[in-house]
Structures are given as C-alpha cells and as structure tokens.
Amino acid sequence: MRVLKIVGECCVYCGESNPLVLAINHKDGGGKKERGGLDFYQSILTRSRRVDDLETACHNCNWIYETKVGRQHKHIRDIVEPLLVEYYERKQLH
C-alpha cells in the first residue's frame, strides 16, 4: 500500500483502485530484469529508486498494454489492436 501511495493508487488506464488487482508496470519494459520483490519495493519506499519510469496498472490493463507494445501476443497483434481501440473509445463515452 505504501508503494502504491508513491507510484499511484489507481490504474492509469481505467481508474481501478482495488489494490488486490493493481501492479507496478515498467512503462518502457525492464520488468524482466527487475522483478517486483521485496528489494524492488524497498528501493521505492526508501526513494533509492526513481519511479518516473513506473506506473500503476490493473492486471487487465497491464496485459492490454503489453499486447499493444508487442511484448505479448505478437502473433495476433493485428487482430487485438482494433479491439483495443474500440474498447477505449467505448470506455471514454461512459
């Protein structure tokens, strides 16, 4: 919870604020070399790690983000992209 207070308390994409479904996302990748663990979270809490390259995202939006940037589902990206555009357009209307 303290890390979320520093990085962001809700999903930057959909606004979800339930901490049980939130994750810290590396905006430009880098998550594979820096796994979220005690050391990672401690470095955020002690401010020894900058957070401008991090964002809070719910697990659904994080998966969508990874698909959009091509790190997941590369083989179906052309199919997924129009669905994502439609989804976000509809979401903004509500």
What digits encode the pLDDT tens for the residues 44-84?
999 999 999 999 999 988 888 877 777 666 666 677 778 77
Supply the range of the domain harboring residue 31.
2-93
Helix axes 59-68, 77-93, angle to 10 degrees: 130
- Number of structural domains (the chain) is 1
What percent of the chain is modeled with pLDDT above 90?
Answer: 40
pTM given for the model: 0.70
Of 40, 19, 43, 42, the C-alpha closest to 31 is 40
Residue 53 one-letter amino acid = D
Rounded to an integer, what distance in angstroms lies between the CA atom of residue 20 and that of residue 59? Answer: 10
Q: Cβ of 18: how many Cβ atoms within 10 Å?
A: 9
